[in-house]
Structure formats: C-alpha cells, structure tokens
Structure 1
C-alpha cells in the first residue's frame, strides 16, 4: 500500500535529478521520471527509505506525439 496519493501538479520538476519530486517524511524526496510516466508507471519511490507514493496523472499528458517521434524522410536530389 502506498504512503499517499499525490497529484502530479503537486510535485516539483527537479532538473538536477531529472525527475518529478515530492518531499518524503524521511527527509529525502520521492522521485519519478518523465520516461517512467510515459511507460505508465505511477509509483514514485524514495531512494532513502521503503516508502512510495502513487502519482495521480493523465497518461496522455506524457505520451510523445507522433509529430515529434516520426522524422520526415529527406530525399536526395541530383544537381546538374
């Protein structure tokens, strides 16, 4: 059972860690990365203790759009 349910909006983006973070009672931070969220993960763990939280978020907000994942093919042209 998770320690708590936390909305993603209540978490902070930590550039140094590269993850969304939320204060843990032990003094460290619960952490979850954007890549984990894209894979459907909803558990943010604390690296210093055994606690974890359930992150409440809309998975569609973290899916990569097709326009950013598909590259437009480049055609070579002959110059005469």
Structure 2
C-alpha cells in the first residue's frame, strides 16, 4: 500500500510546458514530479525520484485545459 506524504493543490505546482511536467519541492531537496498526461489518465500521484516520497495532486480534470493550452 502506498503512503501519501501530503496532498497538494495543482496551483501550487510549477508546470513546465517543454517537459510537460508538474513539479513541487520535496523536503529532501529534489522535486516531486508528474506528467500532464498521467494526470489526464487519472494518475494523481507525484513521486520524488530521490527519496521516493509521494504526494497526491488535488485537481479537477477541467483544470488541465489551461495547461494543455500552453503546449503549442
């Protein structure tokens, strides 16, 4: 069973349209990351690659439209 460190609103993440990743600072110094397509597919968990902590991204599916609009 997965243990969620915290729940973070999507507005608190930084979105990079080039990598198509949402990122949020992790206590270990690295960043939690999850792809926009993963969120679209219902995967709402962002994982830190350095320490394996996980956070749940709190969002409504319609919230993703504004981020997809940045992807020209």
Give the TM-score, by structure 2 length.
0.77
Aligned match of 2:52: 50
Give the CA RMSD over aligned residues.
1.6
Matched residue pairs, number? Answer: 63
Matching of residue 11 in structure 1 with residue 13 in structure 2: yes
**Relative contact order: is structure 1 or structure 2 higher (C-alpha 8 Å, sep ≥ 6)?**
2
Give the TM-score, by structure 1 length.
0.70
Query: Does the residue aligned with 2:63 lie in a helix, a strand or coil?
Result: helix
Give the structure with the higher percent strand.
2
Which of structures 1 and 2 has the bigger CA Rg? 1
Consecutive aligned runs of 4 or more in structure 1 exceeding 4 Å deviation: none
5+ residue gaps in structure 1? Answer: 64-80
5+ residue gaps in structure 2? Answer: 66-72
